Structure 1
Amino acid sequence: MKLLQPLPRNVWILGFVSLLTDISSEMIHSVLPLFLVTTLGTSLPIVGIIEGVAESTASILKIFSGALSDYWGRRKELAIAGYGLSTVVKPLFAIATSPVWVLLARFADRVGKGIRVAPRDALVADTTDVRYRGAAYGLRQSLDTIGAFLGPLSATGLMALSGQNFRLVFWVAVVPGILAVSLLTVGVREPSQPKQLRGNPLQWHNLKSLGRNYWLLVGVALLFNLGNSSDAFLLLRSQQVGIAISIVPLSLVVMNLTYSLSAYPIGVLSDRIGRLGLLASGFFLYALVYLGFAFANTSWQIWVLFALYGLHLGMSKGVLLAVVADHVPVRLRGTAFGLVNLVTGAALLPASLMAGVLWQWVNPQATFVVGSLFAIAVSILLVLTYSRQKKWNG
C-alpha cells in the first residue's frame, strides 16, 4: 500500500495550523482538570458540567458556521475568526480565580472551535481529489495530533521545572496559538466554489437532500457520543490508579502518539478497502478500552489503555469525516459537517454530567462501564444498518 499521496497545499497548511493550535490547547487541557480540583477546589460533577457546557454550547455554532460557509461560498475567513477567538481568550485561564472564570474561558475557546471546525473540514474536501480523501483527513488528523501530544509533553516539562505552576503553563500556551492564526491567514488559499448555494442551507429541502445514509450516520455518531464523556475523567482515573500528578499529562502524550501514527495510514487504507469496517472496528475498540479503564489497577495498564485509545481515535475520527464528505452534495458540505458536530457535541453535556454523577455517587468504574456499553451498541447498530445497503461504499 502506497502511503505517500499527492495531497494539496491547503491540506498541509491546515494540518500545521491544527498542530500549533493543539499544542496551545492541549498544554491547557492536559492540566486543567487537576487545576480545577487541586487549586480551585472544584467538585467532580462541576468538572463534568464545565467540560460538557463548553463543548455542547460551542457545538451549536458549528452548524451555523458550516451553513454560512456554504451560503457565502467562502470558508477561510470563518476559520480565521474561530482560531483567532480561541487564541485571544487563552489568557483567561492564567488569571482564573474561580471555576466560573474557567467556564467562561472554556466556553469562549470552544465557541472559537465551533466557528472554525465545519468550514475547515469542508475546505479539506473542497481541495482534495476524491481518490485521496481518506488520506487527506488522515494527514490533517495526524498533524493535529502531533500537536496534541507535544502540548501535554510541554506542559509536563513546564510543570516539573516550575514547581507545579499551572498558571505559567497557561501563559506559555498563548504563543503557539498566535503562530497558528498567522500561518492560516498567510498560507491557506480559498478554492473556487463550483456552485454557490442559493437560499438557506438549513431549509428542509436542503437538509433532506443530504440523504438517508448521512442521517443514519448522524444517528450513530450521536448515540456513540452519549457514552463518550470528557477525557478529563481519563486523567482523573490515571491519578486514582497511581500515576503522579506531575506526569499525568504524559498519558495524553501516549494517546496522541498512537493517534498521530495511525490516523494517516488508516486514512490511506480507507481509500483502498472502504471505511465502514474501519469505523465500526474503531467504535468496538473504544468499548474494550473503556472496560479496561473500569478495571485497571496498575499504572502500566493505564499506559497501555491510553495507547489503545489513541488507536481508536485513528480508526474513527478522520474516517468519519471522509464518510461524510463522500456522501453529501458539494454545495452542502459545510452544513453536513456542522450538523455532525452539532449532534455529537450536544451529546457531550449529558455524557460528561452522567460520567461525573456516576463517578461520585456510584463509583469510577461505573463511568467507564456505561460508556463501553454505548460503544458496543453503536458498533452493532452500525454494522446491522449499513451491511444491508449495497450502495454504501464509503
Structure 2
Amino acid sequence: MKTIDRNVLMLGWVSFFTDMASAMINPILPIFVVVVLHEGMDKLGIIVAVATFISYALRLLSGYLSDRYGIVKPLVVGGYALSALSKPLIGATHGYQSIALLKAFERVGKGLRSAPKDLMISEYSHANASGKTFGFHKMLDIAGELSGILLLFGLLWVFGQSESVMRNIFYATLIPGIIGLVLVAFFVQDIPRPKRVLKQAFTLTEKDKKTIASLLFYFLFLLFVFSDAFFTMQAKEVGIATTVIPLLFAVSAGVQTLTSYGFGVFIDRFGARRVLVFAYACGAAAQGLLYLQDPHLTWIAYAFLGLFTVASVNANRAFISQNADNRGSVYGVFYAGVALFGAVGAYVSGMIWEYFGMSSALLFSLTGTVLLSLLFIGSRHVRA
C-alpha cells in the first residue's frame, strides 16, 4: 500500500465518514417507511427508484464538466455537502413523499461527486496499479460503512427501536457527514486542469465508446439484483429482529472491507473479466439464498451480496481507468447506468412484491441473475 497517493488516502477517509453516516440510516430506513409510517412495499420501491433515478443525469453532467472544463474538486465538495445536509432532515419527515425528496437530494449529491471523485482517484493512481488503488479506496469506504452499522446496532441495542430513537439516529448523521465535508474541502488537492480545456470540441473517442459498451452487461444485471432496502425487508419477513438487522449489513460490509484490496490486486494481475465472472456468480448466489427464505441462509446471502458488490464495482472502476480516454465522462456514464437500471429494477421489484408477494419478487430476481451470470460466463467475446 506504499504506492497509494496521499490524496487517495484522504479521499478514502472522506468516503469513510460519509458512508458511516449512510450506514447509520440505510438498515432502518425501509423499516421506518413500512412499519413506522405504515407505507406499503410499493412506496418503498418508489423511494428507492426516485432516489437512484434522480441523480443519473447529474452523473453524466458532472463527468462531462470534469473532462470538458476541468471542474473536478468543486463538484466533489458540493456533492458531499448535499449528502451531509440531506440525511439528518429525514428525521423530521412524516410521509414517503418527503423521504423520497430528501433521498433524491442525497442522490443528487452522490451524482455530482461520483464521476469527478473517481477521476481524481484515477489521476492519482500509479502506473499499472489502478485496481489496487480503487481497491484501497473502496476498503476505506466500506470500513466506514461497517463502523456506521456497528454504531447503529449499539444505539438500537441500548436505546431500543422506537420511532423517536430512529429519528434521533437520522439527526446524528450530521456529525460524520460534516467531518467528511471538512476533509474533502481542506485536505484533498484538486487535479491539474487539462491544457485542452475550452480549446477544442469535446467528443467521446472510440475507446470510450467500446468501454461504455462493455458496461452494458453490468447494467442489465442491476435490473434484477435486490437493493439493500429489499434485502432488509426480506430479513424482517423471515423473522430476523429489527435490532439485529444492522449486523446483517455488518456481514456484508465486513466481507467487502476484508476483500476489497485483494480484488484490486487480482484485477491488476489477471484482468477485470475474471473478477466479474466471480462477482456475477456471487450476485446470483445471494438471490438464491434469499429465495429459500431461511433466516440462517439470509446471513450467508448478505456475505455473497458483499462479494458481488465489492468485486463488480472495483472491476468496473479499474476497467474504465485502464481503457477510457475521457475517464470523467465514462465514469459519469457508468454511475448514470447504475442509477437508471437500479431505479427501474427497484420499482419493478417493489411492484411485484406489493401485488404478487415476496416469493414472486425473489423468483424474478433469481431468474434474471442466474440467466445473466450463465450468459456472461459463456460469452467470452464480452470485453472486460
- Counterpart among 145, 155, 160 of residue 158 in structure 1: 155
- The within-5 A match list for 1:214-229 is 214-229=211-226
Cα deviation, residue 101, structure 1 = 1.7
Structure 1 residues without counterparts, runs of 5 or longer: none
Distance 1:378 1:68 in 2: 34
Q: Partner residue of 2:182?
A: 182
- Counterpart among 88, 93, 101 of residue 90 in structure 2: 93
Q: Partner residue of 1:64?
A: 61
- Counterpart among 5, 8, 11 of residue 11 in structure 1: 8
- Counterpart among 199, 203, 210 of residue 213 in structure 1: 210
Distance 2:104 2:297 in 1: 33
Residue correspondences, number: 381
Distance 2:226 2:306 in 1: 15
Q: Partner residue of 1:121?
A: 118
TM-aligned CA distance change 1:90 to 1:310, over 3 Å: same
- Counterpart among 302, 319, 335 of residue 306 in structure 1: 302
Report the TM-score, using the length of structure 1 for normalisation: 0.92
Distance 1:195 1:381 in 2: 43
Cα deviation, residue 110, structure 1 = 0.6
Distance 1:225 1:208 in 2: 26
Which amino acid is 1:141 matched to?
A: K
- More moved, 35-44 vs 192-201: 192-201
Cα shift readout 1:364-383 (whole Å, capped 9, x = no counterpart) = 12222322333334334444
Cα shift readout 1:55-91 (whole Å, capped 9, x = no counterpart) = 1111221010111111121311110000001111223
Q: Partner residue of 1:196?
A: 196
Which amino acid is 1:374 matched to?
A: G
Distance 1:96 1:212 in 2: 43
SS of alignment partner, residue 306 of structure 1:
helix
Distance 1:213 1:376 in 2: 25
Q: 2:62 touches 2:111 (CA, 8 Å); kept in 1?
A: yes
Alignment root-mean-square deviation, CA? 1.8
Distance 1:265 1:371 in 2: 28
Cα deviation, residue 384, structure 1 = 4.7
- The within-5 A match list for 1:40-79 is 40-79=37-76
Cα deviation, residue 388, structure 1 = 3.7
Q: Partner residue of 1:103?
A: 100
Cα deviation, residue 162, structure 1 = 2.2
TM-aligned CA distance change 1:224 to 1:199, over 3 Å: farther
Identity of aligned residues (%): 28
Structure 2 residues without counterparts, runs of 5 or longer: none
- The within-5 A match list for 1:265-280 is 265-280=262-277
Distance 1:11 1:373 in 2: 39
Cα deviation, residue 143, structure 1 = 0.7
Which amino acid is 2:33 matched to?
A: L
Cα deviation, residue 315, structure 1 = 1.6
Q: Partner residue of 1:342?
A: 336
Distance 1:237 1:347 in 2: 21
Distance 1:366 1:140 in 2: 37
Distance 1:383 1:213 in 2: 20
SS of alignment partner, residue 246 of structure 1:
coil
The yes-or-no answer on 1:315 pairing with 2:311 is: yes
Report the TM-score, using the length of structure 2 for normalisation: 0.94
Q: 2:212 touches 2:333 (CA, 8 Å); kept in 1?
A: no
Distance 1:146 1:136 in 2: 15
SS of alignment partner, residue 217 of structure 2:
helix
Cα shift readout 1:345-388 (whole Å, capped 9, x = no counterpart) = 11122211111122222231222232233333433444455x34
Cα deviation, residue 45, structure 1 = 0.4
TM-aligned CA distance change 1:195 to 1:130, over 3 Å: farther
Distance 1:199 1:221 in 2: 35
Cα deviation, residue 250, structure 1 = 1.4
Q: 1:293 touches 1:365 (CA, 8 Å); kept in 2?
A: no
Cα shift readout 1:242-271 (whole Å, capped 9, x = no counterpart) = 111111121111111001111111101111
- Counterpart among 240, 259, 267 of residue 237 in structure 2: 240
Distance 2:359 2:9 in 1: 41
Distance 2:224 2:348 in 1: 9
Distance 1:197 1:381 in 2: 41
TM-aligned CA distance change 1:63 to 1:158, over 3 Å: same
Which amino acid is 2:91 matched to?
A: A
Cα deviation, residue 280, structure 1 = 1.8
SS of alignment partner, residue 6 of structure 1:
coil
TM-aligned CA distance change 1:358 to 1:301, over 3 Å: same
Distance 1:200 1:163 in 2: 60
Distance 2:88 2:81 in 1: 13
Cα shift readout 1:271-309 (whole Å, capped 9, x = no counterpart) = 111111111220121011101101132x22211211121
Q: 1:66 touches 1:334 (CA, 8 Å); kept in 2?
A: yes
